[in-house]
Structure 1
Amino acid sequence: MHKGEQAYLDLCRSILDNGTKKEDRTGTGTYSIFAHQMRFDLQEGFPLLTTKKVPFRLVASELLWFIKGDTNIRYLLANNNNIWNEWAFKKWIESSEYNGPDMTDFGNRSLKDPEFKKVYDVQMEAFKQKVLQDNTFAEKYGELGSVYGKQWRDWKTTQNETIDQLKDVIHSIRTNPDSRRHIVSAWNPEDIPNMALPPCHTLFQFYVADGKLSCQLYQRSADVFLGVPFNIASYALLTHLIAHECNLDVGEFVHTFGDTHIYANHVEQVKTQLQRDVREMPVLKFNKDKESIFDFELSDFELIGYDPHPTIKAPIAV
C-alpha cells in the first residue's frame, strides 16, 4: 500500500472527525486542526495521489514557474495551467477598470448557479486571452505580486540588493552538505501586502545523510483537499531535481503543517475520496542530460504507471 497516501487519507479522516469549525478569510468556513506531520519515502515511488487524479502537468509547470522566479500568470496560461487564475481575475474584477457583469463570490456562485457559470466562463476566458495577448494588461492584471518565485529567486534586502535563495541553497548542499542552514523562505513580512496570496508553503529545509537528499516543508495554511496534493507532488519533484543536480539520491519529503483544514464546501468531496482504494505509486522519469534545475522544461518530465481514480471537482476559496 502507498504508505504516504494512507497518511494523507488518515489526515482527512482526522479533520472530519476532530476538526474545529472555524470561520476564515474567504467566508467559506473550515474544519481545522493545528500542527500535523506526514512523511513520504521518495525511494518508494513518486507521491502523487491515486484516490483522485492530480494533474502532474500542472504541478510541474507551476514548479517551473516558481523556479524561474516568475510571478505573472502569463507563463502558466501559455502552458495551459489555470490554477492561479482566480487570484489574478479577482484583482481585475475589483479594479475600477472592470465594467462587466457582477462577479462577486464567483467561485461558489459558478458551482451553484449554472446560468451564472456561463457568464463567469465568458468573463474568465476573455480575461485569460487579454493576459496572453495584451502586454500592458498582463503586466497590470496578470501579475500576482511578490509571491513564491520572487522570494525564492529575488529576495529584496534592506541594502537594496537581492538574494537568489534557490541558487544559494543548491550551492550550500553541494559544498557543505552537513550544514543545518539549507533553508529557503517564502515568508517575507515586508512583501506580504504586495502579494495576491501570502505564501501558504512558507519555508523549506534540505537535509543530506547517507548520500540522500531529504526536504521538510513548513506550511502555515493547508487546504487539504485541493492544495495539499499539489504541494506534496511539487516539493517531491523539487527534491528530485535538486538531488539530481547535487549528485545525490532522494530521501524523504516531510510535510509539516500549521492550520490544516478542509473547507466546508469540500466535505462531501473528501468523503467520496475516502471511499476509494489506494493504488500503486507512479515512477518519475526526467531528462537526466539536464544538469541544472534551471534548465528543465515541461517536456523533460514523464510519469510512468500513474493509474488514479477520476478527478473530484471542488470550488477554490479565493
Structure 2
Amino acid sequence: MPDSVHYELQYLDLMRRIWSEGDERVDRTGVGTRSLFGETMRFSLADDAIPLLTTKRVYWKTALRELLWFLTGNTNIRPLVAQGVRIWTDWPLERYRRESGEAISAAEFEARILADEDFAATWGDLGPVYGHQWVDWPRYEPVEGGLYRRAARGHNQIAALVEGLRNSPGSRRHIFTGWNVADLDRMALPPCHMTYQFHVRSDGGLSCLLFQRSCDLGLGFAFNIFEAALLTRMIAQQCDLHARELVWTGGDVHLYLNHADLVEAQLGRVPGGAPKLRILRRAETIFDYRFEDFEVEHYAPQAHIPAPVAV
C-alpha cells in the first residue's frame, strides 16, 4: 500500500463492502451476519509500524496480555482474569450457567475463579485452545504391545519455528497452526486465527501471512491483526531479522447484524496517525517477554465503540 494511503482505509473499505454487499446468513450464534468470503489486506511493519485501528480505541494492552498468555500454553482464564482481562470469560460462563443452572453474573463468576483454585480448574478451562496447540501440540510415543501413549511433552511449534527461521531462513515450511482436528470438539472455540506462515527475504526482512478462517471484523479483527504483528516483531527480534509486512487473509469475513451502530459510527470516521510499537528489551527466548517490555507510541485513537459479543 502506498505510503500516502493510510493503512486503515482498506479495513474500512472491507467493512463498507460487507455491510452493503455481504451475504446475509444465519450463523452459529443465532445473531446472524453479513459476510464476504476470501478477503486480503496487507500492512507494513517497517520502521516499528503497528496496525492499530485508529477509528476506534483498541485496548492493545489487553491484546498484549492475551498473546503472552497464548505463549505460556495456559488454557485457563484464571491468569487472564487476575490481570483484568475478561475477553475469554463469556465461554466458560455460558457453560457454567448451562450445566449448573445457576444464573450467576460475570463478575460473580470471575470472583469465584480468582478465589477458588478448584472451581477455576473445573469451570475456567477452555480446553486445548490456541496456546496449547502452539506450544504443546500432542505427541504420542510407542509402548509395549503395539500401543501408544501421550508423550509427557508435546511439540512446541513456536520454538521449532524460531529455530527453523534461524537455521534455514529460505525454507517454505515456517508454519504453525492451531487447527488440530483431533482436539476441535474439546475447545471452547475452535481457532479463528488458525494458521501462520513466515517468509524471510534475502535482505533479512521477515513477513507473516495469517490465514483466519472466521473473522468478526467489527470486534475480533482489531486484536487479531495487532497480535499477529506483535508476534512477528517478537520473532524477528529473536531471529536477528527485521519485520517487513503482515499479510492477512480471511475466509468467512463477517459483521454481526446487531453491530449496525458500530459499523455506522466507524464508517463515519477518518483514520489518522501512525502508531509505533517499541520492544524495549530483547528477551532470552520468545517465551520470556514480559508485559513491560512493550510500548506503543503515537497512538491517538478516536473513542471506543461498544458492541455486544456473540457467543
Q: State the TM bucket, normalised to the shorter chain.
A: over 0.9
Distance in 1, matches of 2:121 and 2:5, equals: 43
Distance in 1, matches of 2:242 and 2:260, equals: 38
Are 1:19 and 1:31, in contact at CA under 8 Å, matched by a contact in 2? yes
The answer for the alignment partner of 1:38 in structure 2 is 41
The answer for the alignment partner of 2:116 in structure 1 is 134
- What letter is aligned with 1:53? R
SS of aligned partner of 1:13 = helix
Distance in 2, matches of 1:194 and 1:296, equals: 29
2:170 to 178, 188, 193: 178
Structure 1 stretch displaced more, 150-159 or 223-232? 150-159
Distance in 1, matches of 2:64 and 2:240, equals: 21
Are 2:25 and 2:34, in contact at CA under 8 Å, matched by a contact in 1? yes
Are 1:4 and 1:38, in contact at CA under 8 Å, matched by a contact in 2? no
1:85 to 89, 93, 96: 89
TM-score (norm 1): 0.91
1:8 to 8, 11, 23: 11
Are 1:71 and 1:143, in contact at CA under 8 Å, matched by a contact in 2? yes
- How far off its partner does 1:9 sit? 0.7
The answer for the alignment partner of 2:147 in structure 1 is none
Give the paired residue count.
296
- How far off its partner does 1:46 sit? 1.0
- What letter is aligned with 1:313? P
Task: Give the % identical residues.
Answer: 44
The answer for the alignment partner of 2:55 in structure 1 is 51
1:113-124 aligned within 5 A:
123-124=105-106
- How far off its partner does 1:7 sit? 1.0
1:18 aligns with 2:11: no
Instruction: Quickly say closer, same or farther: Cα 1:270–1:214, change in 2 above 3 A.
Output: same
Distance in 1, matches of 2:102 and 2:215, equals: 34
1:190 aligns with 2:193: no
Instruction: Quickly say closer, same or farther: Cα 1:246–1:314, change in 2 above 3 A.
Output: same
- How far off its partner does 1:306 sit? 0.7
RMSD over aligned Cα atoms: 1.2
Are 1:244 and 1:291, in contact at CA under 8 Å, matched by a contact in 2? no
- What letter is aligned with 1:312? I
Are 2:194 and 2:212, in contact at CA under 8 Å, matched by a contact in 1? yes
Are 1:243 and 1:249, in contact at CA under 8 Å, matched by a contact in 2? yes
- What letter is aligned with 1:68? T
Distance in 2, matches of 1:124 and 1:2, equals: 42
Distance in 2, matches of 1:202 and 1:100, equals: 33
1:89-238 aligned within 5 A:
89-96=93-100, 98-100=101-103, 123-159=105-141, 160-161=150-151, 162-209=154-201, 210-238=203-231
- How far off its partner does 1:281 sit? 2.0
The answer for the alignment partner of 2:65 in structure 1 is 61
- How far off its partner does 1:2 sit? 5.7
Unmatched tracts of structure 1, length 5 or more = 102-122
Are 1:182 and 1:205, in contact at CA under 8 Å, matched by a contact in 2? yes
Distance in 2, matches of 1:288 and 1:7, equals: 32
The answer for the alignment partner of 2:145 in structure 1 is none
- What letter is aligned with 1:60? L
The answer for the alignment partner of 2:310 in structure 1 is 317
Instruction: Quickly say closer, same or farther: Cα 1:138–1:31, change in 2 above 3 A.
Output: same
Are 1:2 and 1:281, in contact at CA under 8 Å, matched by a contact in 2? no
Are 2:238 and 2:282, in contact at CA under 8 Å, matched by a contact in 1? no
Q: For 1:232-290, what per-residue CA distance to the aligned partner results, in whole angstroms no more than 9, with x for missing partners?
A: 00000000000000011101111001000000011221111011111112111122242
Distance in 1, matches of 2:233 and 2:5, equals: 19
**Runs of 4+ residues over 3 Å off in structure 1:** none
- What letter is aligned with 1:133? A
Distance in 2, matches of 1:289 and 1:60, equals: 16
